[in-house]
Every structure is written in C-alpha cells, then in structure tokens.
Structure 1
Amino acid sequence: MRTILVVGGGYAGFYTAWKLEKKLRRGEARVIVVDPRPYMTYQPFLPEVLAGSVEARHAAVSLRRHLRRTRLIAGRVTRIDHAKRTVRVRPAVGEEYPLEYDIIVVTAGAVTRALAVPGVAEHAIGMKHVEEAVAIRDRLLTAFDQAAGLPPGPQRRKLLTVTYVGGGFSGVEGFGELLTLARALVRRYPELSRDELSFHLVEASGRILPEVGDGPGEWVVRSLEKRGGRVHLNTQLLSANDGHVVLSSGEEFESELIVWTVGNAANPMVHNHTDLPVNARGMLVVRADLRVGTEQEPVPDAWGAGDDAAVPDLAATRDGATTVPNAQHAVRQGKLLARNLIATLRGREPKPYVHHSLGVVATLGLGRGLFQFRRLVVKGLPAWLMHRGYHVLAVPTWERKFRVLAVWVTAALFGRDIVSLTSVQHPREEFVAGAGATLRAPARKVVAPAGETR
C-alpha cells in the first residue's frame, strides 16, 4: 500500500484525512497524520470559549475519536525532504526520527505573527488555541476577584484593564465577547462598577475588520465604543513591559491582560526546512488543483492546502490573488484535496479549487453580531443568530453540534458560568505548599495514656 502522510491536523489536515478514510478502498493506501495536539481546534468558537458561551472541550474535535483508520503521531514534522520522500518527526516523548512516505499533504497551518515589541513575549497571550482562550477567560475572572478585594487605586485599575492588539476577526470577536462578559460580571461584584472597566483595542491601520466594507467596519467601532470599549486606530503598541502599555499615540496605561492577535505568519518549518517550493512570503506554492508546484512544473506526490499554502483564488477579480487564510477556505480545500488525491490514484484528473465567498459573519458579544454578503449587511441580534446557526452547522461531527447546542441552551436558562479555574494551570502549587508546611512543622511529642508504653 502507498503511504499518505498528512502534516498537520488542523482544518485542512483533519478534513483531508477524514474524507480519505471514507473514500479510500480497502488496501488502496494508508493514512498517517502528524500533529502535536490530539485534536482539531474549531477556531470560530474561541471567542465564545473565552466568554463562557461554549465549553472549551466542545471547540476541540478529537482526532483519535473521528479518524479511526488513520495512524496518529503526536509530534511535529521538523523537516521535509521530498526528494527522498522522508520527513523528520520530533515526537512528544523520545528522540527525533525519520518517517518515509509515498505522498505528502502539507497542511501545517500558519503561526501567530510576532513583532519585536518589548514585553509582549513575556506578558501577552495569543488567541489561536483552546488553551489560550481558557487562560484569557480565567485571567479576567481572577482579576475581578482580586480587584473586588482592593480599594480604588492604580492596582485595581490595572486589574480591570484589558488590551487587545490586532483588529482582524480574531481580535475584534474576542474583544467584543470579553467586553460583554466583563460588563455582565460587574453585576456580580457590588464592590466594582462598569465605569472602572477599561478595554482597549489597538489597530495599526486606519480600520478594523478588513474583510468587511468601510461602513460596517465603522459601525462595529461605534458599537464597541458605545459599550465602553476604546478603539485606537492608526496606533501601534510600542512596549508592554510589566504590563505597562505604551502606544504610538503617546497614551500610556497599566494593563493586567494583554492579548496579541495581529495575524498570521508563515510556518517556520514550511518556510525554512523543506525542499518544496515556497514563495517570497514563505508560503507553499500550490496550483489551483492543490498540487504543489506551478502549472508548468508540478511536484509529483505533493499536495498542500490551508493557511500555509498560497492557493490561487480563481473566484477573485484580480490576477495573482490567493485565498485568504480562514476556516471557510481550509475546510473546503481539505475536502477537495482528498477527492483530487484519490482521483489521481485512480487515473483521473483533479479539479481546481473555486469557492465564491458566502459572506462574512462575526460575533461582537452576546446578542450582537455583523453579517455582510456583498451589499447586504445585517447587524445586531439577527446577525448574531446567523453566526451561531452557521457555525453550529459548520463544526464537524454531529456529536460536537449537539454538545454545543446543549451548552447554549443551558446558558440561556441559567446564565454563563463565572468560575475561574486559573489554578488548573499550576495544579501542584497547593500540594507543594501543603507538603512544605508539613515538613517545616515542629515535631509534636505524643504522650501515651497511663498504663501504656510507646
């Protein structure tokens, strides 16, 4: 049997392997997926995870549960040598080793773009994975608990200050959801008031949400500011040392929580450690049918899709356009890649990837949203309902759909859970503290009752 190696278990990788399992004939090929995480993150749910509207585990789709005939390797591919049909795999435990294949599918995904801003690496947190969304939520809830025990002053203001850097979909949706959660939390804390909340969204360009029109983008800014947020356009973060935020506008303030959502960068492995062709931005060069290479020089037995691939956008009006890195494209590319790969195995011609956008939809907090399809714009509650309806249909597997729906119904009846589990990130602290106290305690002399000896 031929071995098909899928590098990365994100949207494109998961759907490629999932569809291959369903369409491959018995004995036709074996599939291997290499990814450091045992699940696919459904990223559109991350803003609702940090707001407590979706349970964290429900935004993650287990690879082992749904890829039952695929060999799963918990690790990272560190190098691709396609000339020798070999990759280097660094497992979660153990030494790095070579792994051979016949056909490779590169869906490693992009990484968070990092800028050399002092203090960001030490104090900021991203919003690309479930763990990060949970940490953001827990840090906000912990900050409220701590602020409620302090008198008004600088430390209390810092605890109630949140800064988001990046005005794309990830940043705006996360900012809107967290702002909604914070305003709802204040009602549970009589010691605090909404006027003490300080939420900042920093964007280097002159607008947010570049995928929507100017008018809807301006409406989003007004909506966020009406609810107490501050949107800093044409502004850059200069430093964030020890939570002290300095903006290019000259404004400075202390911020307990800093979230970094400035966009994606090329995957370092794809950019630097492969003999497959990449473009000037470090993205994999891919044809319209998702085979690696160009129309004139295709690379045999190599395929690519998702955020780390420069897939030609045949539905775009301008020449040379590539598909934007979002879930809408990655899911569809993964499905088509599986069909095209099987077609080539059976001697048929693959089909080009063409997808006309279905519009963009965003959540801006509980009961607030935005939808745009060409000139049609829907705002507020109807758009928020459209967002939830679309994504509960889009999340893979019926099991996940029902779990998400159950949480939404429970939250509608009883409200969102506001318990912080920050201690989960350091589970041994209480044990170590207790053990240390026991060892430091002075020995107590035990006196035996009369008539007994010890």
Structure 2
Amino acid sequence: MYTALRLQQRMRQELRRGELEITVVTPDPYMTYQPFLPEAAAGNISPRHVVVPLRRVLRQCRILIGEVRTIDHAARTATVTTLATREKGAPDERITYDELVLAPGSVSRTLPIPGLADHGIGFKTVEEAIGLRNHVLEQLDIASSTRDPAVRDAALTFVFVGGGYAGVEALAELEDMASYAVRHYHNVTREDMKWVLVEATDRILPEVGPELGRYTVTQLRRRNIQVLLETRLESCADRVAVLSDGQRFPTRTVVWTAGVKPHPLVAATGLPLTGRGRLRCTAELTVDGVEHVWAAGDAAAVPDLTAGRPGAECVPNAQHAVRQARVLADNLVHSLRGEPLETYAHKYAGSVASLGLHKGVAQVYGRRLKGYPAWFMHRVYHLSRVPTVNRKARVLAEWTLAGLFKREIVSLGSLEHPRAEFELAAGGKHPDDPKGSS
C-alpha cells in the first residue's frame, strides 16, 4: 500500500497523465495496521479503525481483489485467482506487467505440533484478533455457567506460545480486559483465571533489550501470569497443552504467536531466495540478479547498511517496511527515467510495547522507558504512524472515549456464523451441531 501510495503521489506531482498505470493485487480490500491488533482484541479500538480501505487511499490505482498463484517473469505475466473466478469456477485471470513489486508480507510460522492445527489460534489478522476477543469472553461465560470443575478450569486457562511483540502484547491486553470483565460475573474472579506465556528462548521481547525484557517478565509475574522461559509446546491435542518441562494444562485456548515466515508466494516465483526463504534483495530494493523486479517488507531480505557488519539484513518489521516502500517507489521512477537509484539505509530507532492499560516498555534511541511513560510513548508513536488523518482522528476519539467510559465486554461470537439462526429456523443444520437439529 505504501509503495502504491508513494507512486500515486508522484503521479500527481510530476509524472505525465498515463505515464504510469498501477495495479495492486491483494487478497483483502484493506491494509491492516498490525501494531493495533492487541488493542483491537482488548476492545480499546474498533476493528474497522485498525484497517485502511485501499480504494479510498489509492484512488488512482486499479485494485484487484485476488491472490497471485504463479508468476512467469520471462513473459511478464502473473496468474491471479480473483473473487469472480473463484465464485464461478472460471479460469484464473492473467495480467501483464512491465515492473513487478513483490510485498506479500509474512504468515505465521507453525510447527508440526499435535493438535495445533485443530485447536491453535493465530494472531496475524484483524479477524483473528476479534475472534480471539470473542473466544476469551465466551470462555468466561462457559466457566460461569458450569458446575463441572474440569470444564471450568480448562475454560479459564489461557496459553500463549511465543514471547515476541505479538504474544506479549496480546496476552497483556487480553488479561487486562478479562480481569475487568470478571467484575461483572458473580462466580468468576481474577484469581480463578490462569494465564501462561511459553517462550522457547531464555528471554522475551528481545527487541527492547535484556534489561527491559527482565522487567517485563517481573511485571507479568506480578499479575499472576506464568512466564515459562526455555520451554516449548510439545502438544495441544485433546485440548491439553503439554510443555517440554512436563507441565500439562487442560485448556480451550492456545494462542500461537511463535514467529513468522515469508508468504508462500515467494517460493513459487522462481526468484532467488535466501536460506530463510526471503527474496534476496539489493540495497536499492531490486531482487538480486533479476531486472524489473522489486521487493520490500517481511518477505524481502534487504541488506542493513547501518549494521556495520557484512551480511546483516533488515529485520522484518513495519519500521523498515514503511521506509523501504518509499525508497522502492522512488527508485522505480528513477529506473523508468534512467536515473541513478537510491540505496536504502535506516538506523533502527527503537521499540515500544504495550503491557495493558497504562503499562508498557520502550527503548527509543538508546533511552529506556517503563510503565506509564512507555505506554504513552507507545500510543503517541503508533498514532503518528497509522495511515490517513481519518484513521488517526477515529483512533484518538476512541481512546478519549475509553478514558471517560467503562470498557465494553460484549462477545459477538455469533458474527462468525451470521446465517446460523436463519438456517436453524429454516430447518437446516446448526454449524455447532454435527447431528443437526429437529
């Protein structure tokens, strides 16, 4: 989105009409601002305000909702499965291009753990974030309405796997939300809930440094959250989380945030890849050794010229991706005009992480912040980075209202099956009833 937006701006400012035609192929008609997913899951921000509608911001681009299946760069064509071809079972659409920009991002990196595919919950999309919020609130309802101690214990046990940003922020925000929600339950207390963070390495939040990582562990444990370091999830079959240290947690909630990997599309392009499956790129954001192909973001292995050591690559995060997009767009225009290309170089500015309402950690340009100052920095930084003035204003308004009124603790899990009630009324089969209803 940022690459197309930059090209669109240059079209308006300096390019001739018709000199550039931009086609954006994307499976969703919006871009998700992922740093806000934990707050969306906690109900601090409305889900529709953490996404940016592409048709609104990319007015001079052709938006094609679909998925690229194959790329034949020798013929300069891409095969795309669109909504229309999928609905009708028609042949995939073939589109031609002169210049190709690959920015498919990343997907969750999973492991062949028994039960993970059946019971695990991801945390990469806004749909997963809202689904997780509904799921957590539903577990409180289950625990409140049963007298079976085993069912109640499993419903109130929440296991998060992965101690990076996504895992720590999601756990902290949801624990904060659930602790507030149980005030309205007559037979469920905060002490009844069990929150577990499982991390395979010896520390969490490595981006903020070891000192703030240890501080985060201390703060989470003070909230009665179990932080298990150097521990792995061995199985979650039969709704029992089995850990490498021998502990077993009957649970209905296993959230998987243990890293990401490049989108599978890059492996199907036939373009040069690194050992980790990312596109091998130059500092000018071209794909190494291939003309007319560009890449940026999580799926691109871009040399980090500020690291001071050979072979260093930019870490796959939004801080680099947004800046790479601008350089990529400018270089694409330079290439069309036969001008020298710019090199991408950005010194890492730091990291911020929220640990729930009024709690956080931050390391910005070498300075470490904790507690409320870090939480405030987290909000200010991401508010400045979320695209469009419209989204900034809406997020700020929601934060202001959240400070004046109580949290919303309503679960709308039925949204996942909007036709269930009608199908049941029409004599059909309820989605949660394998035998159907009479």
Same fold (TM over 0.5): yes
Taking structure 1 as the reference length, what is the TM-score of the superposition? Answer: 0.91
Q: Is the 8 A contact 2:208 2:352 kept in 1?
A: no
Alpha-carbon distance in 2 for matches of 1:432, 1:114: 35
**Given the alignment, which residue of 338, 344, 361 partners 1:353?**
344
In the other structure, the counterpart of 2:285 is: 290
Alpha-carbon distance in 2 for matches of 1:68, 1:139: 37
Secondary structure of the residue that 2:354 maps to in structure 1?
Answer: strand
Alpha-carbon distance in 2 for matches of 1:374, 1:413: 33
1:163 CA drift (Å) = 0.7
**Given the alignment, which residue of 201, 213, 226 partners 2:222?**
226
Alpha-carbon distance in 1 for matches of 2:407, 2:342: 46
In the other structure, the counterpart of 1:420 is: 411
Amino acid at match of 1:230: Q
| Range with greater deviation from structure 2 (85-94 or 322-331) | 85-94
Alpha-carbon distance in 1 for matches of 2:360, 2:381: 13
In the other structure, the counterpart of 2:276 is: 281
1:61 CA drift (Å) = 0.4
**Given the alignment, which residue of 316, 328, 335 partners 2:307?**
316
Q: Is the 8 A contact 1:164 1:201 kept in 2?
A: yes
In the other structure, the counterpart of 1:43 is: 34
Alpha-carbon distance in 2 for matches of 1:331, 1:135: 27
Structure 1 segments, 4+ long, off by >4 Å, are none
Alpha-carbon distance in 1 for matches of 2:104, 2:284: 18
Residues 395-414 of structure 1 aligned to structure 2 (within 5 Å)? 395-414=386-405
Verify: 1:211 aligned to 2:207, yes or no. yes
In the other structure, the counterpart of 1:19 is: 6
The one-character-per-residue Cα deviations of 1:145-169 (angstroms, maximum 9, x if unpaired) are 2211223611111111111111111
**Given the alignment, which residue of 247, 253, 269 partners 2:249?**
253
In the other structure, the counterpart of 2:433 is: none
1:374 CA drift (Å) = 5.2
1:40 CA drift (Å) = 0.3
Verify: 1:266 aligned to 2:257, yes or no. no
1:134 CA drift (Å) = 0.1
Q: Is the 8 A contact 1:83 1:275 kept in 2?
A: no
**Given the alignment, which residue of 95, 101, 104 partners 2:100?**
104
Q: Is the 8 A contact 2:34 2:125 kept in 1?
A: yes
Alpha-carbon distance in 2 for matches of 1:159, 1:81: 49
In the other structure, the counterpart of 2:325 is: 334
Secondary structure of the residue that 1:291 maps to in structure 2?
Answer: coil
Q: Is the 8 A contact 1:289 1:340 kept in 2?
A: yes
Amino acid at match of 1:359: G
Alpha-carbon distance in 2 for matches of 1:20, 1:142: 45
- List gaps (5 residues or longer) in structure 1: 1-13, 443-454
Give the aligned length. Answer: 422
Secondary structure of the residue that 1:436 maps to in structure 2?
Answer: coil
1:82 CA drift (Å) = 1.1
Q: Is the 8 A contact 1:315 1:354 kept in 2?
A: yes
1:214 CA drift (Å) = 1.2
The one-character-per-residue Cα deviations of 1:358-396 (angstroms, maximum 9, x if unpaired) are 110000111101011354210001100100011011000
Alpha-carbon distance in 1 for matches of 2:421, 2:68: 37
Amino acid at match of 1:218: R
Superposed CA RMSD in Å reads 1.6
Amino acid at match of 1:21: Q
Taking structure 2 as the reference length, what is the TM-score of the superposition? Answer: 0.94
Question: Measured at CA, do residues 30 and 441 of structure 1 come closer, stay the same or move farther in structure 2, by a change above 3 Å?
Answer: closer
Alpha-carbon distance in 2 for matches of 1:135, 1:349: 48
The one-character-per-residue Cα deviations of 1:289-332 (angstroms, maximum 9, x if unpaired) are 10111xxxx42211100000000011113221111111111111
The one-character-per-residue Cα deviations of 1:258-307 (angstroms, maximum 9, x if unpaired) are 11101111221202x113211222111110010111xxxx4221110000
Secondary structure of the residue that 1:133 maps to in structure 2?
Answer: helix
Residues 365-384 of structure 1 aligned to structure 2 (within 5 Å)? 365-373=356-364, 375-384=366-375
Alpha-carbon distance in 1 for matches of 2:163, 2:310: 27
Secondary structure of the residue that 2:287 maps to in structure 1?
Answer: strand
Alpha-carbon distance in 1 for matches of 2:345, 2:333: 19
Q: Is the 8 A contact 1:119 1:242 kept in 2?
A: yes
Residues 45-84 of structure 1 aligned to structure 2 (within 5 Å)? 45-84=36-75
1:242 CA drift (Å) = 2.7
Question: Measured at CA, do residues 275 and 141 of structure 1 come closer, stay the same or move farther in structure 2, by a change above 3 Å?
Answer: same
**Given the alignment, which residue of 172, 186, 191 partners 1:190?**
186
Secondary structure of the residue that 1:231 maps to in structure 2?
Answer: strand
Q: Is the 8 A contact 1:16 1:338 kept in 2?
A: yes
Q: Is the 8 A contact 2:349 2:365 kept in 1?
A: no
Amino acid at match of 2:320: H
The structure number with the bigger radius of gyration is 1
